[in-house]
Structure 1
Amino acid sequence: MALITLTSDIGHKDYLIGAIKGQLLQLDPAFQMMDISHELSPFNYPQAAYVCRNAIRHFPPFTYHIILVNLFEKKPEQLLLAFHKEQYLLCADNGLLNMILEGRPEMVIGLPLDKTAVKNTLHCVRIMGQAISKLAKGAGLLTIGTPDATFTEKNHLRPVFGDNWIEGQIIFIDHFENVIVNITREEFEQRRKGRSFRIVFKRDETIDKISETYADVQEGEKLALFNSAGYLEIAIQKGNAAGLFGLQDFTEQSQNQYLQSRLFYQTVKVFFE
């Protein structure tokens, strides 16, 4: 029986998530389904990549991950089915796939769409579900669609490095308005080399130590730590860091602006001394 996760930017206000699950159960009542999130911000590829990447890696081998994010950035001609590190990913051909994986997948199959069909969300889910059903029943991956299909690629969002600094972008703001930056603990320590440091954001806010937990500081104080996914997080003990400091997450739309001028409310810089 197939284990399927669902991730989307659809939200829960209308019928669509329920209809998606009903569509999949029509194909195979034995499907087991689990939600990752349906509250991703529309058109925010860095956020979607962060959430999917750090959830997917914790699932059992050969789990199927349906990712319904920005399905219709362009008129779709195919969907993608990728296999990477013993996980299956199914998504639109919009560049998100290699952002999630931070590189190319081990194998990618193109799932062609019927040119005469109405290409709405439920039609796309049905194509994905049919592919999952065939694989779960023993079909070979190379028989499902077009092997080694050409697909859209986008560069995953990376920090900028200097000899004595790292500049990262805010990629996620969680339910508590803690701010997640795309600087990993490994990148931080590689550049730090045992030196002291200053984490600077919103022009003049500074943190000069890494905490282990929120309880390391007093209520209302700011702190920095590495979260369970290994990314730098800026928070306020029992407070709302994003709201208080006016910080925003980095989006696809803001990337061109960022290239022209540094957006101080979407970036965090670490100086090593």
Structure 2
Amino acid sequence: MPIITLTTDFGLKDHFAGAVKGAIYSEMPEVTVVDISHNVSPFHITEAAYIIENAYRNFPKGTIHIIGIDSERNPENKHIAVKLDGHYFVCANNGIMSMITRSIMPEELVEINIHDRIKTNFTELDVFVQVACHIARGGKLGVIGKPIQEIKAITGIMPVISSEQKQIIGNVIYVDNYGNVITNITRRLFEDVGKGRSFIIQAKRAHFKKIHQHYSDAINFEIEKSKREEDGKKIALFNSSGYLELAIYKSNPSTVGSASTLFGLDYRDTVSINFE
């Protein structure tokens, strides 16, 4: 049974997400539709790219992923369908796919060209649903698009390494629901550059000299619970996606605060690692 996922910035208040799901089921009642997220910040391409990069690989091969972020078609924002890593992606060519394609080459890439058959301006409802259902039926990408060679890249998502290999300068690319701050510095990059050297992570007023394996590693469980210092405990770790994350133990942005609020960090802010 085909699976189609949805990742959008529609939110849950309006009719958009429901309308897209209804259109898919009208085309293919037997399909399974899965919501990855509809709470991407409006038009936030990097945030959407991080979410889809870390969600898609948990689905079976052959899954079709509709990504509805900044998808209105114009001369600088064409629509594409991509076959990559055994999955299909239907989205705008606005950089969303570049976080995945920097490490995995597309198997097939087309610019969608069925717009002359579409009568409204609701891209996800009309164009993307039609393309996704075409693929789900076993249709070829060449029928709905013309081959292209390149995907537009997001600028500023790659860390910078100093010429002396003594510093990695990265940026915040995502803030999660807990207020944890995710950077574009990967474990692999950290290990390749650091080579086991001691280091200090600097992020505005926060500093870290150790990277933990788990959130709870920051807590000394040998101390009686009533005497532990847990609230506001800051943590640096590589998260389950392999990115450097700065966090507060059991944070809550709406009550006790979070890494984002307490450290004063937001999207694109600088996070550096200095090696000794």
Whether 1:149 aligns to 2:148 is: yes
Q: Which residue of 2 aligns with 1:221?
A: 233
After the TM superposition, which residues 25-174 of structure 1 pair with which residues of structure 2 at under 5 Å, given as runs?
A: 25-72=25-72, 74=74, 78-102=78-102, 105-115=106-116, 117-121=118-122, 123-146=123-146, 148-149=147-148, 153-155=152-154, 157-162=157-162, 163-174=165-176
CA contact (8 A) 2:201 2:274 kept: yes
Q: 1:158–1:140: structure 2 CA closer, same or farther, 3 Å change rule?
A: same
Q: Deviations over 1:163-211 (max 9, x none)?
A: 1010111011111101101111110011111100100111x42100011
CA contact (8 A) 2:168 2:273 kept: yes
Return the TM-score normalized by structure 1. 0.86
Offset of 1:238 from its aligned partner?
2.4
Task: Give the Cα–Cα distance (whole angstroms) in 2 for the partners of residues 207 and 76 of structure 1.
Answer: 42
Offset of 1:76 from its aligned partner?
7.8
Q: Which residue of 2 aligns with 1:268?
A: 271
How many residues align? The count is 255
CA contact (8 A) 1:111 1:145 kept: yes
- The percent of aligned pairs where both chains have the same amino acid is 39
Q: Which residue of 1 aligns with 2:6?
A: 6
Q: 1:152–1:226: structure 2 CA closer, same or farther, 3 Å change rule?
A: closer
Q: 1:78–1:207: structure 2 CA closer, same or farther, 3 Å change rule?
A: closer
Q: Which residue of 2 aligns with 1:206?
A: 207
Offset of 1:44 from its aligned partner?
2.0
Q: 1:235–1:145: structure 2 CA closer, same or farther, 3 Å change rule?
A: same
Task: Give the Cα–Cα distance (whole angstroms) in 1 for the partners of residues 48 and 131 of structure 2.
Answer: 23
Whether 1:235 aligns to 2:243 is: no
AA matched with 2:189: E
Q: Which residue of 1 aligns with 2:191?
A: 189
Say which SS state the counterpart of residue 134 (structure 1) adopts.
Answer: helix
Q: Which residue of 2 aligns with 1:255?
A: none
Say which SS state the counterpart of residue 49 (structure 1) adopts.
Answer: helix
Q: Which residue of 2 aligns with 1:176?
A: 178
CA contact (8 A) 2:260 2:266 kept: yes
Q: Which runs of 5+ in 1 are unaligned?
A: 251-265
For residue 267 of structure 2, the aligned residue among 249, 252, 258 is 249
Offset of 1:81 from its aligned partner?
0.8
Task: Give the Cα–Cα distance (whole angstroms) in 1 for the partners of residues 5 and 53 of structure 2.
Answer: 13
